[in-house]
Chain A
Amino acid sequence: MRVIPVDKVKPGMIVERAIIGSTGEILLNKGVHIDARYIQRLKDIGVPAIYVRDENIGKVEYDEVVSNQTRLEALSVARDVVTNLRLRSDFDIRRVNKVVDDLVSELVTSRDLLVALIDMRAANDEGFYHSVNTTVLSVITGLGMGYNDKQLRQLACGALFHDIGVILLPPELLKKPTPLSPEENKQILKHPELGFQILRKKEGVSLMSAHVALQHHEKFDGSGYPRGLAEDEICEYARIVAIAAIYDNFVGLGSSKQLVLPHQAIQYLIKYGGIWFDPEILKVFVGIIAVFPIGSVVQLNSGVQALVTRANKNYPSRPVVRVFKNRVGDRVAPPFEIDLEANPEYFIQTIVVEEP
């Protein structure tokens, strides 16, 4: 299994990890043989990259941090909440609590969680996929900070609905291709308060969760909005979600149709550590992301090319890699694996993003 930017996808390749749409529908299932029609579709929906099977490298075992079932349920709940809010200004809190519980308990039971896959999403995501990813990343960060169950659930609920104020804005406004008028801009900047008002009034939603919606655009140095809060004035959940949401926007969507790799996104986050983001939380966050995700191709100092097959929790920059091309670019058959943690004489020189 390797990750390939969509513009490098060729007919005949086989999808190795299902591509899920914004509302939980499966856009391309695992095992699908890609043809020209599908390639066009991938470009239309704007996914930056996909995971494909590579017969020359062999199978790669990977774990999803949350099961597809829970992910789909979370997507569906998020969508229903928005639909209900639009229709009757209310939603069913029990379903929300149920899926939040499921998500949290799934993540709590996994040990040594490391996000080792890239969760790409379609450019036409209305915000649901982004919300669910942000929730997963936030909860894992919370785990790393030693949160208890109650804290994790409040954090999860806040993360899931942090952008509810945006999702409820008129779609025409969000998709407007021309620059926004000052009036329209004002409307967008209001979304944290809009979201806060909805969640605050809802029985069963903790005020702490509601504050995530209100404060996720606040910045650590006080330059954010709506209130210009700084450092400890910003609630801790909101400081976590701010990091998780930006990270997911980067690797999930890519920038101008280019794949953004985790190490690039992390580099960006670190740059704004202490300015936009809480540096202590950022440290925890960096520790939960596998900087070389499974399925990426790297070149080692010995000149060989290898595929990342497993992440080392204690040593994120030294994963297990499978050598499949030798120094002169010939196939290595059968490939073999090197655990870079146990073999410090080898190191990753570059990430290879080129024709498979």
Chain B
Amino acid sequence: MYLVCSTLWRENSEAGFTTLCREICSELGLKCCSIWLNGVNSRHRMGYFEAGWSIDDLTMSNMDYEINKSIICKKAPVLVKTLGIKDPGRGSEPSLDVIGMPIFNCNIVTGSITLYCPEGKSETLTEILHHMATELAFGIEQFKNAFTSARQKSLRKEIELAGSIQQSLLPQKVPEVKGITLWGRAVPTHETSGDFYDFIITRHQNLGIAIGDVMGKGIPAALFTAIARTLTRSFAQQDIAPNAVLSEINRSLYPDLSVNGMFLTMFYALYNPLQKALFYASAGHNPPLIRRGESGEVELLKSKGFFVGGRPEQSYKMQTIKLGRGDIVLFYSDGLVEAKNIQGEQFGLQRAAESLKDYYCLGAAALGDFLSMRLMEHIGSCEQRDDITLIVLKVE
């Protein structure tokens, strides 16, 4: 099976995986079988076979999405006994057992495989499924390594692992803060990213917003984003003023960054929901855009400051802005402004500002969705060259 898998993986052939699923179903007398593989920020259904499916009834196909999502996200097997599919159009179908398993590769979930079998058969199939998941993992691995040396092999694995760790370091949930809507999204170019962002609820119930960009790519950059995030968290939680947060981070990171000739730009803002005030400081990061609810004008939250890692002792200036109803703040990394279309034109601040003007009456999440869409339409078929991170805060 692993030979089959490695072939299929190489050809990225969903038809091949589907044939595999069909074979599994007919061999084991199953109703349905599916194989999913994990991609960057998404999951792909590589193979799916369901005996006697009809386009008018997608119950099982829809459920399969949820089941495999759960397996991959929770990194744990799923067992559902006597699953009844209630659909008047179907008549009385015998109930099914569902067993699904993550496909592990050195503790990283690379996908999942799920079987839908007649009731009561799941016990006998568990072992077979376990076997299949192992073989699949092996097969996929086999292909990825087909043309690489042992050293490269382990490197690639490390990159994947780093990417997966980094992904888990991004905010998994947007905190709820009274009076505002909030939204954030990271669109990495590769497995690992040099960008990071974070939302922190501080000890006094203020909201800390951090966005940063480590100059450089790959593992070294990713490594520093993780350290910067941890440092930010620990300083931010104490409700320390943003300028002090940045100088503390600089003091801690300077020795390591300078030795490696690297640096980091960062913007840190602290929002106080009671005063509706935003305190902020910048370490050479792109100035956020603010669209004023009152006037409709878009301004830059300019704040001068040397990047982190430039000098051993660095002080930053804190600025304050009072936010009013309808004000929208867009924090971003340079990937947004520098994203190029096919003619080589950059997305630029102008387009970002226009998006804020055009979508001002939407909430932060919808506004972020529309902004991403406009950005992706701009990039079109071009390759995205740099990581893009976006945060939207709106006072409702």
Contacts and interface: CB of A to CB of B under 8 A. Distances in A.
A270 B372 contact: no
Interface stretch (B51-59, B149-157, B245-253, B297-305): B51-59
Nearest to A299: B376
B58 A336 contact: yes
B interface majority secondary structure: mixed
Contact of B15 (A330, A345, A350): A330
Interface string B60-81: 0110110001000000000000
Contacts of B50: 334
Nearest to A56: B55
Given A286-B361, A349-B376, A337 B65 contact: yes
Contact of A58 (B55, B366, B373): B55
Contacts of B55: 55-59, 334
A57 B56 CA distance: 9
Contacts of B372: 347, 349
Interface in A212-267: 263, 267
B14 interface: yes
A5 B377 CA distance: 20
Contact of A350 (B61, B362, B366, B377): B377
A267 B359 contact: yes
Nearest to A279: B361
B61 A283 contact: no
A274 interface: yes
Nearest to B367: A317
The contact size tier of chain B is 35 or more
Given A326-B44, A336-B61, A270 B296 contact: no
A87 interface: no
Contact of B358 (A271, A338, A343): A271
Given A301-B376, A346-B42, A317 B365 contact: yes
A351 to B, nearest CB: 8
A46 interface: no
Contacts of A58: 55-56, 58
A316 interface: yes
6 contacts: A270-B360, A302-B39, A326-B44, A334-B48, A334-B53, A345-B41
Closest 8 CB pairs of A and B: A302-B42, A317-B369, A317-B366, A349-B376, A58-B55, A336-B61, A334-B61, A336-B65
Interface of B: 12, 14-15, 39, 41-45, 48, 50, 53-56, 58, 61-62, 64-65, 69, 185, 187, 296, 357-362, 365-366, 369-370, 372-373, 376-377
Given A333-B53, A345-B41, A350-B377, 14 more contacts: A56-B55, A59-B56, A270-B358, A270-B359, A302-B39, A322-B58, A332-B45, A334-B48, A334-B55, A335-B61, A337-B58, A343-B69, A347-B372, A349-B372
Interface of A: 55-59, 263, 267, 270-271, 273-274, 279, 282-283, 286, 291, 300-302, 304, 315-318, 322-323, 326-328, 330, 332-338, 343, 345-350
